[in-house]
Copies of this chain bind each other. A is one copy, B any other.
Amino acid sequence: MSEQSLPMVADDRPEGTSRPKDPPNRRAFLLGASSLLGLTAASLLLTPRIGSTQEVPVDPTKVPGALASEYGTRSRFEQSQRLTKPQRSRTPLQDLYGIITPSALHFERHHNGVPLIDPSRHRLLVHGLVEHPMIFTMDELKRFPATSRIAFVECSGNSGKEWKGPKGTTVQEIHGLTSTSEWTGVRLSTVLQAAHLNPQATWMLAEGSDAAAMTRSVPLDRVMDEALLCYAQNGEPIRPEQGYPLRLLLPGWEGNTCIKWLRRLKLVDSPMMTREETSKYTDLMPDGTARQFTFDMEAKSVITNPSGGQQLTEKGFTEIRGLAWSGRGVITKVEVSLDGGKTWNAAELQTPILPKCHTRFRFAWEWNGQEAILQSRCMDETGYLQPTLKQLINVRGTNSYYHNNAIQSWKIDKDGHVHNVQA
């Protein structure tokens, strides 16, 4: 078939013209040409085995491929992974595309491991200030009217170590406790309506069935509109680390309130002062008092490419890419600075821009081979502008750990190395 014979190719593009529309470099082009033109001679050669028993053919058109499979897996050549500690793992933000986080790479945070739950035995108890205390099976919850939304979940401890200077190396290590999924479930309001909520109920305790029996209390009036009891994530049943078979989702609120492995909702008339809202998940202020019930995750953004630990290999076009999100609603603006915050440039926002959801931003940059300090900052629909760390410390002092949404700075060295600084 003549269409398969490869033509002569030539790279007569003048040096330095019309980047970034031109391909990044001449060297790579020539390599590509020699590789493709060598196909005929090399087509019977096989490269070494890589992580599997099947040989990698030099010319895949000459070897019938794998047959269809019941449940697919990623390519053996892809090895991106979460950065794990026993009770948490961090999403590799630098490896993500778009806004959906693959469920397999969604960050984890648990306080006594991921429980193993048989969904046919799982129950949700709704009691306290309701007329009709009730217990639901998973099948019963799934029969209720369902709804879906794409939303981020962020641990309020994300970026926490950076309060006292640049500690982490990579964007994953520093900011990897945030991820986005499409969540599906039943509205909390639907379930509470079934149980006939008592008007005296103003707070709700949610309890997980993990070995930490995680509990948090939340004010009903603030969660009623949007809270979901989720049983699905990214099109399939929710993953074990995310609360299988059932989790509470409070869009835009600190992840810890979104109780996983949810087994109980108690309607009450005051906060229950659990461990996770007294000794933990509070913010010690400069005057010695502590902020409590700081539920909302404020607007935050971070450049994921280029980011800490990466290396720019050559001058010229690089698309600066990152994520922005706000627990208060939609992101209305993201700006990028190339000079450590002296001047700012509008970034492009990828549509759809959804409330309480990661938003992908992009900014076309020509790296001139000189030092640079890259930053991003975002604004949400309330008009709130992401602060610098200095601005945050002015208000909150240096005893805080949770709720650090300060601007991240990445320094580009002359040799192209990217590292974490505070500018």
Contacts and interface: CB of A to CB of B under 8 A. Distances in A.
B125 A6 contact: yes
A95 B234 CA distance: 12
A108 interface: yes
Interface residues of A, number: 139
Contacts of A62: 211
Oligomer: number of copies: 2
Contacts of A147: 350
A422 interface: no
A11 to B, nearest CB: 7
Interface string A1-44: 10110111111110000001111110011011101100000000
Given A148-B98, A352-B354, A7 B65 contact: no
Contacts of A20: 143-145
B3 A60 contact: no
A110 B210 contact: no
A71 B81 contact: yes
Interface stretch (A49-57, A283-291, A294-302): A49-57
Given A84-B70, A115-B63, A75 B239 contact: yes
A148 B352 CA distance: 10
Given A102-B236, A112-B64, A362 B135 contact: no
Nearest to A98: B148
Nearest to A120: B77
A135 B3 contact: no
A70 B61 contact: no
Contact of A66 (B22, B64, B113): B113
| Chain A interface mostly | loop
Contacts of A65: 110, 112-116, 210-211
A104 B73 contact: yes
A88 interface: yes
Contacts of A140: 23-25, 28-29, 32
A190 B193 CA distance: 53
A119 to B, nearest CB: 6
Contact of A148 (B10, B56, B99, B319): B99
Interface in A70-101: 70-75, 77-78, 80-82, 84-89, 95-101
A162 interface: no
B134 A232 contact: no
26 contacts: A28-B139, A47-B121, A55-B116, A56-B116, A60-B115, A60-B116, A61-B115, A62-B211, A65-B112, A69-B82, A71-B104, A73-B239, A74-B103, A74-B240, A75-B237, A75-B240, A75-B245, A77-B245, A78-B236, A80-B236, A98-B148, A98-B234, A99-B182, A100-B234, A102-B234, A102-B236
Given A21-B193, A25-B140, 18 more contacts: A10-B132, A23-B136, A24-B143, A36-B123, A54-B116, A65-B210, A67-B87, A69-B241, A71-B105, A72-B104, A72-B241, A73-B104, A75-B237, A77-B119, A97-B231, A98-B235, A102-B236, A352-B354
